[in-house]
Amino acid sequence: MMRLRLIPDDTTLQIIRWRRHAMIGSVAAIVASAVFFAAIGLNFGIDFRGGILIEVRIPEVPQVTEVRGAFDGAGLGEVAIQEFGEETDFLVRIERQPGGDEAQQVAVETARAHLAAAFGDAVEYRRVEFVGPTVSQDLLRGGAIAVLLAVVAMLLYIMFRFEMAFAWGAVAALVHDVLLTIGVFSLTGLEFNVATVAALLLIVGYSMNDTVVVYDRIRENLRKYKKTDLELVLNRSINETLSRTVNTTVTTIMALGALIVLGGPVVQDFSFAMIWGITVGTYSSIFLAAPLLLTFGVRRGTEAAGPKAEGERAA
Amino acid sequence: MTHVPRWQIVIAVIAVVFAVVYSAPNFLSSTESWLPGEPVRLGLDLQGGSHLLLRVDSDVVLAERLESVLDEIRTRFRAAGIGYTGIGVEQLAGGLTLTDPTQADQALELAEEADETLDIEVDGGGRLTFRLDADAEKELRISALSQSQEVIRRRIDETGTNEPTIQRQGDDRILVQLPGVDDPERIKRLLGQTAKMNFRMVDETASIPEAVAGRVPPGSELLYEDDGSEQGIPIVVRRRVGVSGDNLVGAAPVIDQNNQPVVTLRFDAAGARRFGDLTTENVGRRFAIVLDGRVISAPVIREPIPGGSGQISGNFTFETASDLALLLRAGALPAPLVILEERTVGPSLGRDSIAAGTLAGQVALLLVIIYMVAVYGLFGVAADIALAVNIALLLGILSALGATLTLPGIAGIALTIGMAVDANVLIFERIREETRRGRSPVSAIDTGYRQALRAIIDANVTTLIAALVLFQMGSGPIRGFAVTLAVGVFTTMFCSLIISRLLVLGWLSRARPKVLNV
């Protein structure tokens, strides 16, 4: 039977030798992300900025300009109209109204009244959301805390399961992944909302997952090949787990690809964030997390003999 | 080494049966009555419905309490001959300035007697500041919150909404979830009123133009009577409450003899007596029915009304009369509510989301199944069977737990499909390696499962940590996602480590291959 092998059996890529290039590339990407973030900022959705989002279905298929015209003279500030999925569906975003939480509620009624005046009873409200200033601040703070908490939790777990150098390497890789994801959201102007933060947390989980598998193999090989140069052990471990890393990434991206194409507009941005984050996460566990162990320094030879006989036979 | 303990087989069989039975209702179009389970509960974003986060403005309750404390202090000071100016409540503190600062000690003593929950400060200039102490404040806020929850529940129940959820959140918030409600405007209107009603006499001696100009007689206040216009008609009403809405025991909308919608009222015994007295003493005068600081109507009392029931006519349509009756029956809110957040999803978007999510999940499943067979052959088949059991088990557990499936939750299942095979990928890659190193099939498979275990556990714990953090931060839909993900971690570990292993070992003992073709 023919088998699909994305990574041939005897692959030995000199990944550790490319570490300086990878490091320079990653640092450059992080700097670029920071620049985008500072210059463009993030396109916060109503979750974090507050405001109103109304998804309407208008059967007679008006133009975007007609829908926009419905809000002329409504006094609601900036109103953005976007076609959404079907051609009968529109997303209306209304900026956060000046005033407190009560003002948002009043504006929702104003918006509905203007839509009804323009299109009559045919308007179907598929979604009406508004988030007042109190909740949007809570959500933003909560999201930031959650991402930090996740990173710290991962750091602690790796410290507990491995030694310190591994913990720093893993956390460096996942901070890299989070920053690059924020950077790409900043660059593309995709909406950054609660679902995006959920995606960030999952990216943290996935990046960790990938890194842990490589580290697990490094730890095993360090016990097996006590006298071998660290660089060679790392390279060997990466290559041994490469096929697994690639296969898991492929199946996960297949699932996310199905979501982005078929899952409907609501989960699209989330799926995009995940695909990007997983790609970056796969790269970082191979090219950053493992080579960084050379930088942080791994203690060797202090552990008990372990499965020495087995190791020698395999070598 | 490749011996399979009997208990593992038993558990695997139980799990498969459970998975099939409990996930089945999700795939069958109608609920089969002989199945024990029910389909998984859908979140508001999938079945349609409205989510409202409300804040109870309990500062109002504190201010009211301070006002009444000040009234008490006023009476005591007057009796003791202590003069003061500048009395009032501002920013949750009551204050007054003594005209004679040497009376401060006596004033302090009297004020402490008036209410023992006060923190009182006196400055050198004879300024007294009253605050409720921390315990009293907390108690008032908590009771305002729980009373509000109760009144909200009664109001929403009266509207006939199915299975509403009304939960307290934090110190001052109430979360209301209304499945199937796609136009919450009426409920928002009903919750937007505190509905404090009382009956007071109209101050007929006051001059309206004077009052509008700001000169209101002491003991009275300027209010506006509803006439259908935005502002209403100015009217001067005495502050003293004749009968309070707390004494109501019933209210209903009816059509009166003039074919006008009106609201009939029924008082309790104390209310009936007071209402009887009020109407007996004031025949020929006007009294005002005041709701939330606005006069609904101010009729002339034609004859004493002793029976304990009354009738409000006003500028009503049948709908507004019904809503008023509902509010009066359900009782007044202790404090106003502010809507902090609304998320309403109509039924059509919910249906579309389910359809899109299901299709995406099925396609994801198909792609992964094909890929696994393409890469790992027969072993891939074992992984695929484990994956199918995994998804059924996940749905079954979610259904049995009564967890809520949300749109992000469906995305979580699709993602689980992609990541679930990871454990098997780890194992099969290891078996491949061991085979290449020259191990026999039995030994390679045994080592594969044993050596991959550590990495699998570490990898899944990291996903579990992410899920826990998500659950912690999350609101409704995100929580649903976190639950799906967390349950997915456990079903995945179980299926890859037990189900797929049993399948592989079963095949091994039957086929006895000389060479492994992983």
CATH code of the domain covering residue A154 = 1.20.1640.10
A12 close contact with B: CB closer than 8 A: no
Rounded CA gap, A136 and A124, in Å?
Answer: 26
CB-CB: which of A134, A146, A258 is closest to B367?
Answer: A258
Strand ranges, E, within A30-135: 43-44, 51-57, 79-84, 86-94, 124-131
CB contact under 8 A, B470 and A241: no
Please report how many Cα atoms fall inside a 13 Å half-sphere around the Cα of residue A33, on the Cβ side.
17
For B29-64, write each residue's pLDDT tens digit.
Answer: 655 566 777 788 888 888 899 999 999 999 989 988
pLDDT for A1 equals 46
Whether the predicted pLDDT of A307 surpasses 50: no
CB contact under 8 A, B363 and A258: yes
Rounded CA gap, A53 and B239, in Å?
Answer: 44
pLDDT for A30 equals 95
Is residue B418 within 8 Å of residue B363, measured between CB atoms? no
Q: What are the distances in angstroms from CA B475 to CA A139, B345, B382, B470?
A: 9, 16, 37, 9
pLDDT for A234 equals 92
CB-CB: which of B185, B375, B470 is closest to A198?
Answer: B470
CB contact under 8 A, A202 and B415: yes
Q: How far is A264 from chain B, CA to nearest CA, in Å?
A: 6
**Crossing angle for the helix pair B407-436 and A265-284, nearest 10 degrees?**
30
Rounded CA gap, B143 and B145, in Å?
Answer: 5
Residues A55 and A100 reside in one and the same domain: yes
Edge to edge, what strands does the sheet with B84-90 contain?
Answer: B84-90, B93-98, B127-132, B118-122
Cite the DSSP H helix spans in B127-225: 134-158, 185-191, 208-212
| Cβ-based neighbours of B113, under 8 Å, separated by 6 or more | B76
Instruction: Return the percentage of chain A with pLDDT > 70, whole number.
Output: 95
CB contact under 8 A, A9 and B436: yes
Is residue B423 within 8 Å of residue B506, measured between CB atoms? no
Is residue B175 within 8 Å of residue B166, measured between CB atoms? yes
CB contact under 8 A, A247 and B55: no
Residue A236 within any structural domain of the chain: yes
Looking at domain B6-44+346-511, which of 3.10.200.10, 1.20.1640.10, 3.20.20.70, 3.30.200.20 is its CATH number? 1.20.1640.10
At A245, list the tokens: 């890393």
Closest residue by Cα to residue B391 from B14, B20, B11 = B20
Whether the predicted pLDDT of A309 surpasses 60: no
Residue A37 within any structural domain of the chain: yes
Q: How far is A80 from chain B, CA to nearest CA, in Å?
A: 19
Question: Where in chain B are the domains?
Answer: 6-44+346-511, 59-137, 196-304
Whether the predicted pLDDT of B432 surpasses 80: yes
Give the number of other Cβ atoms within 10 Å of residue B35's Cβ: 13
Q: Which chain B residues touch A127 with a CB distance below 8 Å?
A: 343-346, 349
Strand B84-90 and strand B93-98: the pairing is antiparallel
Tell the residue number behind the tokens 């930090």, with chain if given. Answer: A148
Residues A183 and A287 reside in one and the same domain: yes
Beta bridge partners of B351: none
Q: Which chain B residues touch A5 with a CB distance below 8 Å?
A: 375
CATH topology of domain B59-137: 3.30.1240
Residues A59 and A167 reside in one and the same domain: no
**CATH number of domain containing A117:** 3.30.70
Taking only residues 179 to 198 of chain B, the set having a beta carbon closer than 8 angstroms to any beta carbon of chain A reads: 182-183, 185, 188
Q: Which chain B residues touch A102 with a CB distance below 8 Å?
A: 338-339
Residues A117 and A157 reside in one and the same domain: no
Closest residue by Cα to residue B265 from B279, B286, B281, B282 = B279
pLDDT for B31 equals 57
Taking only residues 11 to 70 of chain B, the set having a beta carbon closer than 8 angstroms to any beta carbon of chain A reads: 53, 55
Taking only residues 50 to 89 of chain A, the set having a beta carbon closer than 8 angstroms to any beta carbon of chain B reads: 55, 57, 85
Q: Which chain A residues touch B183 with a CB distance below 8 Å?
A: 125
> Which amino acid is located at A64 in the chain?
V
Residue A9 within any structural domain of the chain: no
Q: How far is A146 from chain B, CA to nearest CA, in Å?
A: 6
A102 close contact with B: CB closer than 8 A: yes
Q: Which chain B residues touch A124 with a CB distance below 8 Å?
A: 346, 348
For A163-217, write each residue's pLDDT tens digit.
Answer: 889 999 999 998 999 999 999 999 999 989 888 888 888 888 888 888 999 999 9
DSSP tag of A122: G
Edge to edge, what strands does the sheet with B233-238 contain?
Answer: B233-238, B220-225, B294-297, B287-291, B197-201, B243-244
Residue A101 within any structural domain of the chain: yes
Residues A213 and A257 reside in one and the same domain: yes
Residues A37 and A149 reside in one and the same domain: yes
At which of A86, A108, A131 does a domain end? A131
Residues A106 and A119 reside in one and the same domain: yes
Higher pLDDT among residues A283 and B107, named by residue: A283
A243 close contact with B: CB closer than 8 A: yes
Residue of chain A minimizing CA distance to B458: A212
Rounded CA gap, A174 and A154, in Å?
Answer: 9
Please tell me the pTM assigned to this model.
0.81
Q: What are the distances in angstroms from CA B177 to CA A193, B52, B350, B446, B515?
A: 21, 6, 15, 51, 60
Residue A315 within any structural domain of the chain: no
Q: Which chain A residues touch B349 with a CB distance below 8 Å?
A: 55, 126-127
Residues A98 and A172 reside in one and the same domain: no
For B458-517, write each residue's pLDDT tens digit.
Answer: 888 888 888 888 888 766 667 778 888 899 999 999 998 889 889 998 888 888 888 777
Residues A176 and A201 reside in one and the same domain: yes
Mean pLDDT across B446-468? 86
A150 close contact with B: CB closer than 8 A: yes
* Beta-carbon contacts below 8 Å between A and B: 221
- How many whole angstroms from its chain centre is CA B38? 24
At which of A107, A131, A155 does a domain end? A131
As a whole number, the mean pLDDT across chain B is: 87
A262 close contact with B: CB closer than 8 A: yes
pLDDT for B285 equals 92
Rounded CA gap, A286 and A246, in Å?
Answer: 10
CB contact under 8 A, A146 and B470: yes
Q: How far is B363 from chain A, CA to nearest CA, in Å?
A: 6
Rounded CA gap, B123 and B130, in Å?
Answer: 12
Is residue B461 within 8 Å of residue A160, measured between CB atoms? no
Residue A274 within any structural domain of the chain: yes
A143 close contact with B: CB closer than 8 A: yes
Phi/psi at A18 (5° precision): -85, 10
CB-CB: which of A3, A132, A270 is closest to B375?
Answer: A3
Q: What are the distances in angstroms from CA B70 to CA B77, B86, B123, B335, B517?
A: 10, 12, 18, 20, 89
Buried b (16+ CB within 10 A) or exposed e, A28-54: ebeebbeebbeeeebebbbbbbbbbbb
Closest residue by Cα to residue A181 from A284, A252, A274, A266 = A274
* Domain extent for A81: 51-131
For residue A92, the SS3 value is strand
Complex confidence, ipTM = 0.86
Reported as type and span, the H/E element at residue B266 is strand B261-267
For B262-314, write each residue's pLDDT tens digit.
Answer: 999 999 999 999 999 999 999 999 999 999 888 988 989 988 888 888 888 88
CB-CB: which of A128, A131, A258 is closest to B414?
Answer: A258
Beta bridge partners of B237: B202, B221
CB contact under 8 A, A208 and B417: no
Any idea which architecture B196-304 has in CATH? 2-Layer Sandwich (3.30)
CB-CB: which of A105, A204, A264 is closest to B466?
Answer: A204
Residue in A201, A208, A219 to test binding to B, most B beta-carbons within 10 Å: A201
A271 close contact with B: CB closer than 8 A: yes
Is residue A125 within 8 Å of residue B344, measured between CB atoms? yes
Beta bridge partners of B41: B404
pLDDT for A305 equals 40
Domain count, chain A: 2
CB-CB: which of A104, A198, A213 is closest to B408?
Answer: A198
CB-CB: which of A247, A257, A262 is closest to B375?
Answer: A247
Residues A32 and A113 reside in one and the same domain: no
pLDDT for A314 equals 39
Residue A3 within any structural domain of the chain: no
- Termini Cα distance of chain B: 20
Residues A282 and A164 reside in one and the same domain: yes
At which of A131, A164, A192 does a domain end? A131
Residues A140 and A117 reside in one and the same domain: no
pLDDT band at B170; cut points 50, 70, 90: confident
Reported as type and span, the H/E element at residue B388 is helix B378-401
Q: How far is B332 from chain A, CA to nearest CA, in Å?
A: 20
> Which amino acid is located at B217 in the chain?
P
pLDDT for A26 equals 95
